Amino acid sequence: MAKSARRILGEIFAVSHLRIVVTGLTGQVVSALIERASDDVELIALGRPRLDLSVREAVLAALRATHCDAIVNAAAYTAVDKAESEPDVALRVNGDGACYVAEIAAELRKPLLHLSTDYVFDGKLDRPYREDDPTGPTSAYGRSKLVGEQKIAQTHDNHAILRTAWVYSPSGANFVRTMLRLGQSRDEVGVVADQLGNPTSALDIADAVLAIARRMVADPSPALRGLFHMAGGGEASWADFAEAIFAEGQKHGRAPVRVNRIGTKDYPTPAPRPANSRLDCGKLQKIYGVALPHWRESLAPCVARLLAAQG
């Protein structure tokens, strides 16, 4: 049975002190990394104005000055629908910016962990996507993230590209927070039921990233490098996810909310969403022994924290 990433973090390939620099300041994964970093991990978060992924010299100078053991590229242009109207901006950040981070990681000879997305696929496959399945992004955001993956692979061998999906957490804007907000004023919410994916806790991502970084710093094995899928266990439609959120809310005294299951055609968006975003994470489990918890397991404490913060 796979061990949790958090357990592995303290067990294998022990490094007495790990200095990790992460791009981004306020994103869900960055916030989770800051929360989950153990006492022997020094986490340095860099973002604007000191580090702007769209400016090469700024990226190189900021990261060169950190004297880190590993780099995590968590910053990105993530406005999926807005990217349809400004694809060049998304490409500069997610494509060129990722390349700049890879350049300095190669110069410093440090491992690079890069977070990517399920949106690099077209969603037409009838099973969870594996790392070797053909990509085919249908949105400007997805295309920009795929370019970033490709540029990293071409620039720096010492990398782990980690594709994840449907990220939620107690911080930042995400689907869980949105559903809880809507549930305060509505007794019924329409939610898409014909898109499938893996809801993934940012805190679980952080645990896995820290475990992977520690292992990469200590072990130069090529098998630990490359492309990996890293998403929450289990699968769901957005409607399934919403029902689970409202059920958790009821446990904390929230009024029940009915989910009206609608189709993608009933909720048009500027950027098309993949009908199938499910990711097969077997490779990560086989190579690293890391499997993220089931999304329902991680959802409960997230909802509890969000509601507690609301008072």
Residues labelled as active-site residues: 141
Calpha distance 93→78 (Å, rounded): 10
How many CB atoms are located within 10 Å of the residue 285 CB? 18
Decide if 193 contacts 261 (C-beta within 8 A).
yes
Q: How far is CA 70 from the centre of its chain?
A: 18
What single DSSP character describes residue 294? B
Calpha distance 213→173 (Å, rounded): 26
H-type helices in the chain, by residue range? 5-9, 28-36, 56-64, 87-91, 97-108, 140-155, 175-185, 202-218, 238-251, 282-288, 295-310
